[in-house]
Amino acid sequence: MTSIIGPASFKFFGIFPAAILSFILPVVGIGLFAYIMARRFAPLVRANPDNRFDHIGKRIRNLIIVWLGQVRQPRYMLAGVLHIFIFSGFLILSIRSTSLVIIGFSDGFVLPGFGGALGSIYNFFKDYAATFVLIACIIAAIRRGIYKPERYAVPEKYGKDHTAEAVFVLGIISTLMISESLFEASELAYEFALTGHDHFLAPLSLVWIFRAMLPSVPQNVLQGLHIFSFFVHDLTFFFFLCFLPLGKHFHVITSVFNVFFMRVQKGNIKPVMHGVSDDKLDDLESFGVKKLEDFTWKHMLDFYSCADCGRCSDQCPANAVGRPLSPRFITIKARDLMFKNYPLAGEIYKSNLLVEDIYTEDEIWSCTTCGACEEECPLGIEYIDKIVDLRRGMVDEGMVPQSLQKPLKALEKRGNPYGKMEKKRADWAKDKEFKANYQIKDLAREKADTLYFVDSITSYDDIIQDIARRTSIILQKAGVDFGILGKLEKDSGNEVLRFGEEMLYQDLKEQNIEAILETGVKQIVTADPHAYNALKNDYGDLPPVKHISQVVAQKISSGELDLKPCQDPDKVYVYHDPCYLGRHNGIYEDPRQALDAIDGLTRVELEKSRDRSFCCGGGGLMLFYEPEEETRMGVLRVNMAAEIGATVIVTACPFCLVNIQDAIKVAGKEGEIEALDFTELIEQHLY
Amino acid sequence: MTQIFAYIPFKNGAAEDVALEYPTAAKKIDEGASLTAVVTGSGADLDTVANEMTSIYSEVIKIDHADLAYPNAEVVRKALVNVIPADAIFLTAHDTFGMDLAPGLSVKMESAYAADMVDFDGLDGTILKAVRQELGGAVSTHMAIDISSGVVMTVRPGSFGPVEGSSAGGSVVDKSGDAGDVSVKRKFLEIVEAEAGDVDITKSDVLVSIGRGIEDEDNIEIAQELADAMKAVVSCSRPIVDAKWLEKSRQVGTSGQTVKPKVYMAMGISGSFQHLGGVKGNPFIVAVNKNPKAPIFQVADVGIVEDILDFIPELTEAVNDL
Amino acid sequence: MEILVCVKRVPDTAENEFELNSAGNDLDRDDLVYSVNEWDNYAVEEAIQIVDKVGGSVTVITVGDDESEEVLRREMAMGANNGILLSDDAFEGSDGMGIAAILKAEIEKGSYDLIMSGAQADEGAGQVGGMLAAMLDYPYASLVNKIEVGDGNITVGREIEGGNQEMNEMDLPCVLSIQTGINEPRYVGIRGIRKVAKLDIPVKGTSDLGVDADSVGEAGAKTKRLDYFVPDMGDGAEMLEGSTDEIIEKLIEKLKANGGL
């Protein structure tokens, strides 16, 4: 009896060499794969430029942490762990898979270096890898097919359910694992029957189990099983390879690139067109994304890379309140359009306007730019820049909702969305009681170290003006020499930019930068996170910008600011992270540090806090937009706070304050819970 | 002697209230002027109105023509040009018909024109002193109108108040024959009635606006009853829409509709600037709120500290009794 | 269809607070922002939509000074094809009749199928459209909130009391004044305006139009504004006191006086 015949030497029916098949399969498989990839590349070549080769160090870091380290996966624990197993299994098994292909026409092939001890160690781990990949696939299949978690559900308007695709692929992967282990187990069982020599196998691994099942199987069956499982593996492998670019498993190939190219800077918005400077914008024929090809190549790569996991939509506040926006489907619909317009065979279709084709206007206007989707995506898919580009396209075509036209016009004429007169921008400082004790420097006439940038809502809204007064009091108590721009200050334009009105934003930005640089201040402080974000991340060329919570925290640490013990020890305080302070700018601890510096203040944490914070409903122009929704984001947030027993919601953003105050009334919780601004809490506790 | 002619609009055989205001206006123009009513139409309704007007006007001119059965402004103008003396003072209401008729009439009569007058200050020779408003009522202006070749004017209904006392014992003069050729290039087709629920709050002169004080969806009924009694429309502030008690189209505010009514009844509305931002044109604001410190009282003309759930039904009853 | 829309540059009622100047005879215009009259903007949007459907072109025209050109440009940024500025010192102080005469002189030089204006502007008179129609002997309809183009004629709906709509059929050419809400005007941003910054807008004066200087301007005006004033307001609401019945009685009196009943 000879040893088992591998596929390289085997002859079907004694005549036809199997090696021919094992040679043809890869050639055809790789050839077909290359063709498919070339077709998939086609739209990217037509796409707009993107600047993704800067900050190489940060990109490599992202690659290691997000891609290799899978750091975002455990945010959804069960699915995350399952995926980590499957992902790491794939990485480990990639070596084995490559070897197997070549084994098909070269008996006993081992990759260079994997001959001796290294090979044995590798085999040990790869056997367990295959095992836990199979177990993970089975659990995943049961979870997807039977338990059907909510976030995978496909609402009717978006088409058919995706469960079949998911379970099918899990089946393919399981087939690969089983066939690989069976291929090895059949050989080992044959060897044992022949020589009595028993290889050491990783105990309880898949191959170990198969091997244990096979001792009494006749040799010719083992031989057949060996060849059969090889070709099942080979065929499935190349089928899977060509199947990957056809659906959501394209991410298996694109993820490493997508994560490498993902955004390295937070809070800012991409330029209208990479490579076109602001002063050349007037020359552009068209602004924004109107058709599919207007997206950048990275955004198109994003569409390809979506794993359809639904985590983005699960975290999306607009989705939660029933607005027509679901980030997952922004991506899936665009991906499907790419597949449709750039088919694998045949003509490339001409693109229509996206907003008449796959998206609706309300869908695109519904986004509050909170960033929860991008924070969550394990593949580094971006959304905010795409929404802004789509809005730029709509604005260029005049497709702006009527309710937004008024505030935009007011911003153009008066520098604030309320249409109030410029000269009244500093009227908050003229409040009789306040003025008697505090005189605010006007930087047009006096000098100061620091600029307090007030921004529009704090300047003009009767109730929010209190924030300006309190911030001034706090700054003074903390020994900060500051002044304001007064009527020279224009709206920071954070929302104007994000709502796609690029030229109006440029206009506001230029006026603000000019006014600010004129004053010669060395730093800027604001109590408005939206202004903070625009000045710090979108403007450029400015002195350092700080939020009032950072100033307070720093002054507490240095001992310059002392706070009284809690004036309301019976209340239960919870801090709500504003999107533009927290997620976009990473300021989570400073406000908490300040609150905790108040002796006897009882503070609790919301489950959805820090980078999982839930948007209050949005600020700036979002206050003017009339969305179609089932409930309000603010109401959901207030209920979250009530559920954990909080009686005071503290927030460090004027828009959060407005939205949450309103929501408390709508939710009917007046008297049970109140909204408090950070500045009010601190000012209450100043000596 | 100055001759004043006043056009009487009517519907279903009943003259509009402005018919009672012309005499007051006429007195303010020129106490010694003659005042003649003019009414156009066809058939029984026209006769009823013409006769009714004899108790207020000493002379009532009626023009009866089949083409005038519906008040088509182009037809009416043609008829009037042949009947009204060229240098007369012609008054009509500043309503949708007046805006249609009056400007063209002034051209054809080669007269001066002045619209939406709210007050008159008498004649100084052939110069008429008057008052009107601009910029949505934000400012008022004094006007000087040269009426030497006549003038056509529209007056704002409600500005002059009804004439005190009547029984002028006037007579109807039929000038149908003088109308002449009234063929025009505009043909009236039909009236399309507004759908119930299809209400455009921006077009109503009087709004009964409700806020959180209404407390419950079921209570909105009482506001509708008051609106019906006042020939007004129900509007609201944002919370009512958010609660889905009324459609978005009813919302007044910076993120809702902008309204420019003559009268704004703010019932149970606190008066946030987002809400009041939608109220333009300086209307007469009546605020009813159980909180005496509600900001609405800063901007309202009249304030009443009461619970609207009690107050509104009583007001409705009183209005219906009028 | 060749459509002409008459537009006017007016102080923006939304973004201004109107105060009298120190002399007390005019508004304080230093801080005022101006824009195209809202009603006129609806008319231009309607014209553009009609031309999109049936072909033709939209021309916007205004009687004003150099600054009025900005509203013509804005409407062209929105989609109007041409702009004409009628400007001359002699036109200053014109009353409605004067403005209509100036417009008529220019209109007679062209051949427009449809002439539109907004139903009213800052003075709230709503007069020029009707005057223009009568001067040209074209049929007129005011407060139009619906237009359907037919064959040599159009069907229009007028907004009348009670939210009802009066349907009329009119021969062309005709003049219409347009009510707000007839459509949803498209947005015009800074970028759009910059795009039309270099387009040519002809300026015409008395000699180009051939109008009689006596019929226009202050000389020809029969209606003159003497001054602006603000009637006395008082602080805050007048709080009504007494029993509910008494309050209601007083309230009803006040409502009647202010047109509420």
Find chain B residues with C-beta within 8 A of C175's C-beta: none
Q: In the predicted model, is pLDDT for residue C148 greater than 70?
A: yes
pLDDT interval class at C180 (50, 70, 90): confident
CA distance A366 to chain C (A): 18
Q: Do B198 and C162 touch (CB under 8 A)?
A: no
Is the CB of residue B142 less than 8 Å away from at least one CB of chain A?
A: no
The domain boundary, picked from B178, B211, B231, lies at B178
Q: What percent of chain A has a predicted confidence (pLDDT) above 90?
A: 83
pLDDT interval class at C127 (50, 70, 90): very high
Mean pLDDT of A30-53: 95
Classify C236 in phi/psi space as left (phi over 0), alpha (psi -120 to 50) or beta: left
Distance in angstroms (rounded) separating the CA atoms of residues B209 and B226: 10
pLDDT digits (tens, 9 = 90+) for C69-95: 999 999 999 999 999 999 999 999 999
Q: What's the pLDDT at A529?
A: 98
Domain membership of residue B40 (yes or no) is yes
Q: What does the mean pLDDT of chain A come to?
A: 94
CATH number at residue B315: 3.40.50.1220
Q: What's the pLDDT at B89?
A: 97
Q: What's the pLDDT at C163?
A: 63
Q: In the predicted model, is pLDDT for residue A409 greater than 60?
A: yes
Residues B174, B214, single domain; the answer is no
The conformation of residue A563, written as its DSSP 8-state character, comes to: B
Q: What's the pLDDT at A44?
A: 95
Is the CB of residue C165 less than 8 Å away from at least one CB of chain B?
A: yes
Residues B229, B306, single domain; the answer is yes
Domain membership of residue B206 (yes or no) is yes
Is the CB of residue C184 less than 8 Å away from at least one CB of chain A?
A: yes
Q: Do C134 and B108 touch (CB under 8 A)?
A: yes
Q: In the predicted model, is pLDDT for residue B170 greater than 80?
A: yes
Domain membership of residue B310 (yes or no) is yes
Distance in angstroms (rounded) separating the CA atoms of residues A479 and A495: 32
Residue C80 makes CB contacts below 8 A (sequence gap 6+) with C5, C44, C47, C48, C58, C59, C60, C72
pLDDT interval class at A4 (50, 70, 90): confident
pLDDT interval class at B193 (50, 70, 90): confident
Is the CB of residue A421 less than 8 Å away from at least one CB of chain C?
A: yes
Which structural domain, as residue segments, surrounds residue B270?
Answer: 201-320
Is the CB of residue B230 less than 8 Å away from at least one CB of chain C?
A: yes
All partners of chain C with 3 or more CB pairs under 8 angstroms: A, B
Q: Do A402 and C188 touch (CB under 8 A)?
A: no
Q: Do A504 and C31 touch (CB under 8 A)?
A: no
Is the CB of residue C116 less than 8 Å away from at least one CB of chain A?
A: no
Interface-testing mutation among C16, C180, C222, with chain B (most B C-beta atoms within 10 A) = C222
Q: What are phi and psi of A132, to 5 degrees?
A: -75, -20
Q: What does the mean pLDDT of chain C come to?
A: 92
Residues B31, B122, single domain; the answer is yes
Residue pair A369/A580 in contact (Cβ under 8 Å)? The answer is: no
Residues B38, B164, single domain; the answer is yes
Question: What burial class does residue A3 get, using C-beta atoms within 10 Å of its C-beta: 0-12 exposed, 13-18 middle, 19+ buried?
Answer: exposed
For residue A13 the two structure tokens come to 């029916």
Domain membership of residue B196 (yes or no) is no
Residues B165, B226, single domain; the answer is no
Q: What are phi and psi of A624, to 5 degrees?
A: -95, -15
CA distance A468 to chain B (A): 18
ipTM confidence: 0.88
Q: In the predicted model, is pLDDT for residue A381 greater than 70?
A: yes
Q: Do A409 and C190 touch (CB under 8 A)?
A: no
pLDDT digits (tens, 9 = 90+) for A603-634: 999 999 999 999 999 988 998 887 888 999 99
CA distance A398 to chain C (A): 4
Domain membership of residue B194 (yes or no) is no
Question: Considering its fold, how many domains does chain B have in total?
Answer: 2
- Which residue among C20, C135, C260 places its CB closest to the CB of B284? C260
Please name the residues between 650 and 679 in chain A that touch chain B, using a CB distance below 8 Å: 665-666
Report the amino acid identity of residue A147.
Y
CA distance B89 to chain C (A): 14
Domain membership of residue B78 (yes or no) is yes
3-state SS class at A546: strand
Find chain A residues with C-beta within 8 A of C31's C-beta: 421-423
Residues B74, B214, single domain; the answer is no
Q: Do A413 and C35 touch (CB under 8 A)?
A: yes
Task: Give per-residue burial for C187-213: e unless 16+ CB within 10 Å, then b.
Answer: bbbbbbbeebeeeebeebebeebebee
How large is the C-alpha radius of gyration of chain C?
A: 21
Domain membership of residue B298 (yes or no) is yes
Q: Do A398 and C188 touch (CB under 8 A)?
A: yes
Question: What burial class does residue C133 get, using C-beta atoms within 10 Å of its C-beta: 0-12 exposed, 13-18 middle, 19+ buried?
Answer: buried
Q: Do C239 and B297 touch (CB under 8 A)?
A: yes
Residues B173, B231, single domain; the answer is no
CATH number at residue B23: 3.40.50.620
Is the CB of residue A462 less than 8 Å away from at least one CB of chain B?
A: yes
pLDDT interval class at C231 (50, 70, 90): low
Distance in angstroms (rounded) separating the CA atoms of residues B145 and A69: 85
Q: What percent of chain A has a predicted confidence (pLDDT) above 70?
A: 100
Residues B150, B246, single domain; the answer is no
* Residue A23: Cβ within 10 Å count: 16
Q: Do A624 and B254 touch (CB under 8 A)?
A: yes
* Residue B292: Cβ within 10 Å count: 9
Is the CB of residue C229 less than 8 Å away from at least one CB of chain B?
A: yes
pLDDT interval class at B169 (50, 70, 90): confident
Which domains are assigned to chain C?
2-220 (3.40.50.620)
- Which residue among A281, A409, A421 places its CB closest to the CB of C31? A421
Residues B218, B267, single domain; the answer is yes
Q: What's the pLDDT at C11?
A: 93
Residues B117, B163, single domain; the answer is yes
Q: What's the pLDDT at A530?
A: 98
Nearest alpha-carbon partner for A340 in A288, A306, A303? A303
Q: What percent of chain C has a predicted confidence (pLDDT) above 70?
A: 97
Is the CB of residue B273 less than 8 Å away from at least one CB of chain A?
A: yes
Residues B162, B205, single domain; the answer is no
Q: How far is CA C135 from the centre of its chain?
A: 18
Is the CB of residue C189 less than 8 Å away from at least one CB of chain A?
A: yes
Q: Which residue has the tokens 């402005």?
A: B18
Interface-testing mutation among A394, A421, A423, with chain C (most C C-beta atoms within 10 A) = A421
Q: What's the pLDDT at A1?
A: 54
pLDDT digits (tens, 9 = 90+) for A560-595: 999 999 999 999 999 999 999 999 999 999 999 999
3-state SS class at C34: strand
Q: In the predicted model, is pLDDT for residue B88 greater than 90?
A: yes
Mean pLDDT of B29-51: 94
Is the CB of residue B139 less than 8 Å away from at least one CB of chain C?
A: yes
Question: What burial class does residue C5 get, using C-beta atoms within 10 Å of its C-beta: 0-12 exposed, 13-18 middle, 19+ buried?
Answer: buried
Q: In the predicted model, is pLDDT for residue B196 greater than 60?
A: no
Q: Has this prediction a pTM greater than 0.90? A: no
Domain membership of residue B261 (yes or no) is yes
Q: What are phi and psi of B127, to 5 degrees?
A: -105, 120
The DSSP element (H or E) to which B265 belongs, if any, is strand B263-267
Q: What's the pLDDT at A73?
A: 97
- Which residue among B112, B303, B305 places its CB closest to the CB of C223? B112
Mean pLDDT of A417-443: 93
Residues B116, B8, single domain; the answer is yes
